[in-house]
Structure 1
């Protein structure tokens, strides 16, 4: 059925919401409350052409999940142009991208991302909770640890490979789950997968990935390239069942359940930039992208969720979001294959302690965990090769980076940007291993770092 722009403009409210996507017109009224990003996101495009907004977040195949009855007809491309919303961020596309070889550290990618990303996307990616104390401390505490190099070791070459949950990786670094990567580059999570495959890294796919897991898996450079699936437990538990089973069927190597955000932190930069966006629901005014995206997360789960997951999959389980030694011990007692010491990049509870302090707590109060089969990962604030080596010297098996991978996608860089960023990080790791006097990661020892400046920030005693 052929439709005109006048036909669609009449359906621009909650009771009757139509949107045009690449010439097809859909009635999404019944889908509004079920949309993972919230009704507000769709209502912004009600009665309009939503192609650009849709493409910035979703893969085309996602439209297949709409019932056939939702398709109301087609609109001529010339008619659809009338419906296109005006953008106040078009100037972003006119900025020139510096040649990749001129970017020499991970901070350079962040600066480029801030210039090139739309303000709302930058706010969503970069913001931390409240005063962003935890976000900044995550990075700052690495500078408080001093390296203690050994000299005259005759290091002829260095070996940076290790394994994560039994999967080989060329660096002790993995791609943390980062949502809506398509906002940074049209290829989104697929660009990350392609770069990870060529660089020999492990990727953890976000629960809120803008690309379906099947498409990401098809982007791998080999059938054995490991990709793990992050899981936020949904208020509708059946949706979480579908995520786990779909991941297992697609070939995911593990489930990483994120538990540090039963509610979303108050990310004020994100919320301020969304205050000006009109919405039909007054109670959603001021909510940022993060709060809308996470509105479906269940705050009611406890340790029994591990028993529930094991009923539906035998994949290895990793708990992401351990913030104290007590919970690290409980996780070990529950038999998980790994834990991630993380405060969600400072995005959930402000003033939550840095993962580095949690790692030091484990060293002091539960050192047996460091010698167990359970792997310990750390994320948050890592920007230098020296940061990676410090975490490993203190007992971490590998570290995760999130924001830097998103930033390296921006400005049109895509896969090439990710690979350039990894080349920089790899060079820093290799160079500093030589300076430390080690030829392999297993030679890194606690005595190669001086973490005494952090001891005063640790709790005095703990009863386990």
Structure 2
């Protein structure tokens, strides 16, 4: 496939759907319950309208910014996602290489398909390590020390997985890790030989990091992750803060009061996230939750957003509402499935081009210039004329 023919992220998703067996595509695309939160994440962006300013020279638009003090080429980062071997045999290795070449940051999941040291060796740009707590109440000290030794720049603790989400697509397809050979999967792979060949070439039994120094089998890692799904407490955050000297990011926040408390506990960054709609269905969309979190932290920490970002205009809206940057997940996994490293790069190129276009059309020449006045939230469209005048004067 000629990747240049994929003009937007929807094109990339459709191409991935054609290439991947249905059970594999569903585990990437699916969410919890009726998947209303997945839809809400995107629809909430659509409800926000843009107000461009004109009479501005936009001959040069700079999409670069800083994240935790490090320069990135765009306010679009690659968020953590586990079991990437299902999409492509190069998995996280390809993602790390691509992020570095594109000049942006990526986050490696605890349940990576490759050892964190091997992935870190491929990275030339900012890299975060996303932490799930080990099963059985064990201390995360070992894996945190490994991440530090491997040179990861930030630690990202996910706090919204106290138990598993009800992912009905996976139940219906009888999905399991490792992939269970079923009549449905055999039928799907028979008509998708390119995916099957790639999977075999990567090693059918290829393991994943899990929580230990050894590479676990996919089954062992899946069991380890399931047993690790537990509430993260304030004491856990305090422990991690003691063990980790670098920037600490907390992912999975939808409430301003919780975000403020996490800053008190030592968080250097907050990711407004509902786990891509994969945990609690009908949870608040992330762009709706963003202003509350930004207001609550009051500039004491950087705030990021993930969930539903599919266009450069979405990036602009998040920036206007106070996000430092956004993280994407499913889109780059679709790109990985379609074209490996080149597919991930195509996704990043699309996002950078669209973000540059959106900023320019809004009348901004840099990310730093984006301001709240360029967006209109749904409730603001119903103001009376007098209310609008008063707001403008204020």
The match for 1:435 among 341, 361, 365 is: 361
Question: Contact 2:50/2:376 (CA < 8 Å) preserved in 1?
Answer: yes
The match for 2:27 among 119, 124, 130 is: 124
Larger Rg: 1
The match for 2:12 among 109, 116, 134 is: 109
Cα distance change on mapping 1:361 and 1:231 into 2, 3 Å: same
The match for 1:269 among 169, 186, 211 is: 169
Q: Is 2:345 the counterpart of 1:345?
A: no
2-structure distance, mates of 1:293, 1:418 = 28
Cα distance change on mapping 1:150 and 1:329 into 2, 3 Å: same
Higher relative contact order (CA 8 A, sep 6+): 2
The match for 2:102 among 185, 193, 199 is: 199
1-structure distance, mates of 2:231, 2:249 = 19
After superposition, residues 35-434 of structure 1 pair within 5 angstroms as 98-220=1-123, 222=124, 225-238=125-138, 240-274=140-174, 294-362=225-293, 367=295, 369-372=297-300, 374-411=301-338, 413-434=339-360
Moved more, 295-304 or 423-432: 295-304
1-structure distance, mates of 2:224, 2:122 = 25
After superposition, residues 16-27 of structure 1 pair within 5 angstroms as none
Partner of 1:41: none
Question: Contact 2:163/2:231 (CA < 8 Å) preserved in 1?
Answer: no
2-structure distance, mates of 1:450, 1:139 = 16
Scaled by the length of structure 2, what TM-score is found?
0.83
2-structure distance, mates of 1:354, 1:334 = 25
Partner of 1:75: none
Partner of 2:195: none
**Residue 339 of structure 1 aligns to a residue in which SS?**
strand
What is the RMSD computed on CA atoms of the aligned residues? 2.2
2-structure distance, mates of 1:273, 1:353 = 27
Moved more, 328-337 or 259-268: 328-337
Scaled by the length of structure 1, what TM-score is found?
0.70
Tell me how many residue pairs correspond in the alignment: 343
Structure 1 unaligned regions, length at least 5: 1-97, 280-287, 457-464
Question: Contact 1:264/1:294 (CA < 8 Å) preserved in 2?
Answer: no
Cα distance change on mapping 1:183 and 1:298 into 2, 3 Å: closer
Structure 2 unaligned regions, length at least 5: 183-218, 383-394
Question: Contact 1:145/1:453 (CA < 8 Å) preserved in 2?
Answer: no
Partner of 2:185: none
Cα distance change on mapping 1:138 and 1:329 into 2, 3 Å: same
Moved more, 301-310 or 103-112: 301-310
Deviations 1:157-200 (A, max 9, x none): 01111111111110001110011111111110010111111100
**Residue 400 of structure 1 aligns to a residue in which SS?**
strand
Question: Contact 2:61/2:356 (CA < 8 Å) preserved in 1?
Answer: yes
**Residue 153 of structure 1 aligns to a residue in which SS?**
coil
2-structure distance, mates of 1:326, 1:369 = 9
2-structure distance, mates of 1:111, 1:245 = 40
**Residue 410 of structure 1 aligns to a residue in which SS?**
helix
